[in-house]
Amino acid sequence: MSDEEDIILADLDDEELVQQMMDDLYDGMREEIEEGVNILLERGWEPYRILTEALVGGMTIVGADFRDGILFVPEVLLAANAMKGGMAILKPLLAETGARTIGKMVIGTVKGDIHDIGKNLVSMMMEGAGFEVIDLGINNAVEAYLEAIAKEQPDILGMSALLTTTMPYMKVVIDTMKDQGIRDDYIVLVGGAPLNEEFGRAIGADAYCRDAAVAVETAKTFIARKHNQAPA
Ligand code: B1M
């Protein structure tokens, strides 16, 4: 029997609890993560703070050990599942802060890439800020993006990629939009851990967004600019 079972999460102070939640995320313990999130909420923590400090913080450690060959895919999947459990509790709370729809975004992870946690976080934060979000999920070919923007007529197209091998696909999507003469009809925002500003510029995106909070701020800035440019 492990020591883990003896720990009463509610008895820990905030700092110990966040540390324990990082350990629990690492061990893929979804129920414990859900309990920890609820305890922090009861203690008055802002949903965004729980998300960034306990959940994203924990996933960063998982990522480092995955890279170093200490953790393998099954363990990382369990950690991702635990993170999603926590995110599911926070999602409606983050959404509550948004008053009305200020714009519409279609977002999806690019073809060949199945990472969706970061994209889901961006969707949640955008919804929380008052955007309507159409989430295309993972592994999206250019046709899926084009079909969705034609159908939904969003203000923004968002693309996510977590692999150095899949990030160039964003350029395929943007180049196809250029070929079809529709590139400038949309604000194109891109994000994902291996990207940077230079890459965003090089592929012809409007902006690279480092994280979900930056995605929200960038989206708001571009929407405001678009409204200012609109004919009276
Ligand atoms: Co993957 N994986 N993975 N993985 N995985 C990485 C990305 C990796 C860096 C791990 C490592 O080696 N350290 C590495 C990529 C290396 C590289 O490309 N050079 C890697 C690899 C190699 C792989 C596989 C190839 C492993 C294998 O099979 N041998 C495989 C690929 C599968 C595929 O996609 N075809 C694979 C599989 C998996 C799992 C399925 C096990 C799982 C994904 C589960 C899921 O998503 N449902 C997984 C995970 C969890 C990771 C790590 C550990 C964590 C990613 C994550 O969720 N981070 C990751 C290591 C890491 O990134 N540190 C890793 C938390 C999330 C909140 O952050 O996604 O960066 P992030 O999103 C941020 C920002 O980037 C930004 O905002 C988000 C929130 O702040 N953002 C956007 C993201 N998208 C945006 C879109 C926007 C704006 C902002 O649009 C406007």
Give the domain CATH number at 43.
1.10.1240.10
Q: What atom of ligand 1 comes closest to residue 164's alpha carbon?
A: 18
Predicted confidence (pLDDT) at residue 203 exceeds the cutoff of 80: yes
Q: Using the 3D structure, point to which of 78, 97, 116 is the last residue of a domain.
A: 97
| Spatial distance between the Cα atoms of 232 and 38, rounded to a whole number of angstroms | 48
| Average pLDDT over all residues of the chain | 91
The reply to whether 28 and 86 lie within a common domain is yes
Predicted confidence (pLDDT) at residue 59 exceeds the cutoff of 70: yes
The reply to whether 54 and 129 lie within a common domain is no
Predicted confidence (pLDDT) at residue 25 exceeds the cutoff of 50: yes
Minimum CA distance residue for ligand 1 atom 87: 191
Ligand 1 midpoint to CA 27 (Å): 18
Q: What is the pTM of this model?
A: 0.87
Predicted confidence (pLDDT) at residue 63 exceeds the cutoff of 60: yes
The reply to whether 55 and 125 lie within a common domain is no
The pLDDT assigned to 195 comes to 98
| Spatial distance between the Cα atoms of 57 and 217, rounded to a whole number of angstroms | 21
The reply to whether 216 and 131 lie within a common domain is yes
* Strand, helix or coil for residue 115: coil
Domain that holds residue 211: 104-229
The reply to whether 183 and 206 lie within a common domain is yes
Q: What atom of ligand 1 comes closest to residue 74's alpha carbon?
A: 41
Q: What are the pocket residues of ligand 1 if the criterion is a CB atom closer than 6 Å to any ligand atom?
A: 56, 59-60, 62-63, 66-67, 73, 76-77, 80, 107, 112-119, 121-122, 158, 160, 162-164, 189-194, 209, 211-212, 215
| Spatial distance between the Cα atoms of 66 and 167, rounded to a whole number of angstroms | 20
* Strand, helix or coil for residue 72: coil
Interval 188-217 mean pLDDT: 95
Question: Phi and psi dihedrals of 190, rounded to 5?
Answer: -125, 155
| Spatial distance between the Cα atoms of 81 and 62, rounded to a whole number of angstroms | 13
Predicted confidence (pLDDT) at residue 162 exceeds the cutoff of 60: yes
| Spatial distance between the Cα atoms of 230 and 232, rounded to a whole number of angstroms | 6
Q: What atom of ligand 1 comes closest to residue 64's alpha carbon?
A: 13
The pLDDT assigned to 164 comes to 98
The reply to whether 198 and 116 lie within a common domain is yes
| Percent of the chain residues topping a pLDDT of 70 | 94
The reply to whether 37 and 93 lie within a common domain is yes
The reply to whether 64 and 158 lie within a common domain is no
Q: Say which amino acid occupies 134.
A: I
Instruction: Name the band, by pLDDT with cuts 50, 70 and 90, for residue 1.
Output: very low
Ligand 1 midpoint to CA 162 (Å): 5
The pLDDT assigned to 173 comes to 98
Predicted confidence (pLDDT) at residue 5 exceeds the cutoff of 70: no
Distances (CA, A) of 112 to 77, 139, 153, 161: 17, 5, 25, 9
The pLDDT assigned to 231 comes to 64
Name the token pair of 179.
Answer: 């070929």
Q: Using the 3D structure, point to which of 53, 75, 97 is the last residue of a domain.
A: 97
CATH code, domain carrying 157:
3.40.50.280
The reply to whether 58 and 164 lie within a common domain is no
Predicted confidence (pLDDT) at residue 194 exceeds the cutoff of 70: yes
The reply to whether 178 and 205 lie within a common domain is yes
Ligand 1 midpoint to CA 163 (Å): 7
Task: Specify the number of domains making up the chain.
Answer: 2
The reply to whether 110 and 218 lie within a common domain is yes
Q: What atom of ligand 1 comes closest to residue 112's alpha carbon?
A: 35
Interval 148-171 mean pLDDT: 98
The reply to whether 170 and 119 lie within a common domain is yes
Predicted confidence (pLDDT) at residue 2 exceeds the cutoff of 60: no
State which of 22, 66, 84, 110 you would mutate to test the pocket of ligand 1, scoring each by most atoms of that ligand within 8 A of its C-beta: 66
The pLDDT assigned to 95 comes to 73
The pLDDT assigned to 80 comes to 86
Pairing status of strand 156-160 against strand 131-135: unpaired
Minimum CA distance residue for ligand 1 atom 37: 73
Minimum CA distance residue for ligand 1 atom 85: 191
Beta bridge partners of 157: 106, 188
Q: Using the 3D structure, point to which of 44, 77, 97 is the last residue of a domain.
A: 97
